[in-house]
Amino acid sequence: SSQNLSEEFAEAARQLKKEAPRIQFGKIDVTHQHDLRKEFNIQAFPTVKFFVNGSREDPIDCKGVRKASTFITWVKRRTGPSTVLINSTDQAEAIIKADDLAVIGFFRDLHNDSVEAFCETARDVPEMPFGMTASEDVCANYGVQRNSLVVFKKGKPVHNEVLEDGRQNKLGLTRLIKTFTLDLVTEYNIETSVKIFDVPVENHILLFTPANSETFNEIYENYQSAAAEFRGKILFVLVDTDEARNGRIFEYFRIRDIDVPAVRILNLTSDAKYKMPADEVTVENLKEFCQSYLNGKAKQHLSSEEIPQDWDKLPVKVIVGKNFNSIIF
């Protein structure tokens, strides 16, 4: 909520006043400042923007940061080095073990384009520590090929991404790394919904199924297998249809009891929805659906109510999606 964020923001300001007095914090109530709201195109609340070198042109958006500690890291990485330079295995171990998650870049040398992409990514992911190294010993110790990024979870490597010189997509890297703040498959509920929307992946796939059915374990395993392949490109979400509080999400996707298990893809930017053509939730069907969606070949699913029996009785006809074309055109 705005109130919560306001408190965390104030806490960050208090702590940074001692450490970095050059950084000033301010807050604006745009309900009274219409000109400022317009100038900076403020659509959602709360919005945090960072102005650099006294310029009001092109401030940097600070998105999805909700805690004082993350704010502080975000600001520090914008005003100073965004990653720690690692020279020894001990130093690497300390970073990897200090937190649940850590990201280490292993490089041939520290002056190439992929290092730049790595440091830029670190600025946008303040939730976890970033370190980089060009030390032969450290690379050999972890058996990692040079020019790769490794994500460590609870001290163990869980993902290795080879960084290609100069062609690295920073947004793609940011999306991929942020997904590690969630489980491979995230169950949708009140607590996780905020986290799901904080990860900047615009494609979400949702599996609607009752969690207590006999086939649940098998379906869930298939869903997890497919999820590993599309990490960073499509976010895998599970919706338990037995949970009454999920009612609004069924309505939004027009899912009925007889439809489950059902699989849908939602594009958050366009709000377009897609239905998996196959009925069975197998690894093959899921992979095929995701791939055809990413290739732009999936058909948009325009859900519709059934045509009412008395749609034609009165002078004003009742139109739903299914009879729209035939009646209007």
- Mean pLDDT score, 162-166: 74
For residues 196 and 249, state if they share a domain.
Answer: yes
Asked whether residue 70 falls in the same domain as residue 96, the answer is no
CATH number of the domain residue 72 falls in: 3.40.30.10
67 shares its domain with 128: no
Cα separation of 199 and 236, whole Å? 12
210 shares its domain with 173: no
Give residue 3's pLDDT band: very low, low, confident or very high (50, 70, 90). confident
Same domain, 191 and 284: yes
Same domain, 73 and 150: no
Q: How confident is the model at residue 153 (pLDDT cuts 50, 70, 90)?
A: very high
Number of domains within the chain: 3
283, pLDDT greater than 90:
yes
Quick one: average pLDDT of 59-87? 90
Domain boundary among 179, 212, 234: 179
Closest CA to 233 of 301, 314, 174, 183: 174
Q: Is residue 329 part of a domain?
A: no
Please indicate, yes or no, whether residues 138 and 240 belong to a single structural domain of this protein.
Answer: no
CA distance 149 to 177: 10
Taking the whole predicted model, whether its pTM rises above 0.85 is answered as no
Same domain, 234 and 291: yes
Residue % of the chain over a pLDDT of 90: 55
Query: What is the extent of the structural domain holding 153?
Result: 84-179
Q: Which among 179, 206, 238 is the end of a domain?
A: 179
* Per-residue pLDDT, 125: 93
Segment 167-203, tens digit of pLDDT: 557 888 999 999 999 999 999 998 898 889 888 899 9
Do residues 31 and 135 share a domain? no
Q: Do 115 and 204 belong together in one domain?
A: no
Asked whether residue 229 is domain-assigned, the answer is yes
What's the average model confidence in pLDDT over 239-243? 93
Q: Is residue 315 part of a domain?
A: no
**Is 328 a residue whose pLDDT tops 70?**
no
Conformation bin of residue 27: beta by default, left when phi > 0, alpha when psi is -120 to 50: beta
For CA atoms 103, 106, 112, 113, give the dihedral sign.
negative
Q: Among residues 179, 204, 222, which one ends one of the domains?
A: 179
What is the per-residue DSSP string for 155-208? TEEEEEEEPPTTT--HHHHHHHHHGGGS-SEEE-SHHHHHHHHHS---EEEEEE
As a whole number, mean pLDDT of residues 58-71 equals 87
What angle is formed at CA 81 by the lines to CA 75 and CA 86, rounded to 5 degrees? 130
In a domain, 304, yes or no: no
Distance CA 218, CA 21 (A): 56
